[in-house]
Amino acid sequence: MSKTHNRQIYPFSAIVGQETMKTALILNAINPSIGGVLIKGERGTAKSTAVRSLAALLPENKVVLGCTFGCDPEKPEDFCEDCRKNMITLRTTERKMTVVELPVSATEDMVVGSLDISSAIKDGEKKFEPGILAAAHRNILYVDEVNLLNDHIVDLLLDVAAMGLNIIEREGVSYSHPSSFILIGTMNPEEGDLRPQLLDRFGLCAVIEGIADTDTRLEIIRRRMEFENNPAKFIEKWSAADKKTADRILAAKELLPDVGISDEMLRIAVQICTDAGVDGHRGDITLVKTAKTLCAYKLHTEVTEDDIKEAAKLVLAHRMKKTPFSNEQYDDEKINESIEKAKNQNKSESKDKPENNEQESRSEQQEKPQESGEQNNDGKGNPNNTDDSETKLFKASDPFA
């Protein structure tokens, strides 16, 4: 069915270069609601290595002991049917997060699971055979060569990833179970692309290329040889760097709910998506989520312009309108133009506000004597005289003066 990888894994921190890919993977691990990561790159660019090494950075999950799906004991609202029935006697344990791999040849029943219809009809019991989505709950679901997978299966995966719930319906019998996972897909563009509708469903997209620099390529070979000669020693060598990244991910997850974003930054995000020709609103929402997650990863609490720009590189790569001969590279110049446009709009609005406040203040001053029943006088008790300064103020605001 599915494959989990428990062998010695190449350390995440030891991967040379490919910072865009590593950042995308980390952000999605911090905030899975971003909607998954699609990594597009040619052969031999450490795509699979990075995915499998990510799991080693993530903390163990507390799960219900004996639960097929590994339900979270601290979230009873997301329990499966069996855990709901046995809530009083539940015991807990900890489970290491794993990578569950979905093969390209997977069928729908392999992915979602299957129901024993005859048992349901005869005995009135729902006998469910778990699928890959059951094993993936609270783990990493990895789909290599996702572009070669059946479109129907890809669409199904993305639906479940968005809802966090897998629903199986067969012959009028239905069964559901929680299925919330970190979705990662990799592909080689030379072997074909996904349909635009499916591309848009992935939250982030990291477009990577092979490294051309000779010294960097030499370093990649040296590290790989060192790892293969003595994996345990090599892993120990990079353990401190991996732990630092793991601690930062944990801190970011805790900080994320406290991260704020101003209306000015929201306008910049919307303007960037509008100018990029992004269809719908999923791109706008994902850009804001990603910017906030990136801000938390930097251990800050207020989204900045740099956070928006960096997030846009991952959110727009697969969503921008492209001509037949264009590539998927992020255009810094156009994004900077969008940011300036949004800033100018913010400035024009801020200039209008003081004028409106001043006009309201003047209006209140003019109406105040009438509302309070007071009369202007010249200091000698003559109610018919008016103050000269008020008269001048009125004439100055008169368009015909």
Catalytic residues: 282
Query: Residue 253 in contact with residue 295, Cβ under 8 Å?
Result: no
Q: Report the alpha-carbon angle 339-199-278, nearest 5.
A: 30
Number of Cβ within 10 Å of residue 113's Cβ equals 22
- 272/184 Cα distance (integer angstroms): 25
- 8/308 Cα distance (integer angstroms): 37
Question: Helix 263-275 crosses helix 305-315 at what angle (to 10 degrees)?
Answer: 30
| 316-350 as b/e: b if 16+ CB within 10 A | bbbbbeeeeeeeeebbeeebeebbebbeeebeeee
- 293/290 Cα distance (integer angstroms): 5
- 259/170 Cα distance (integer angstroms): 43
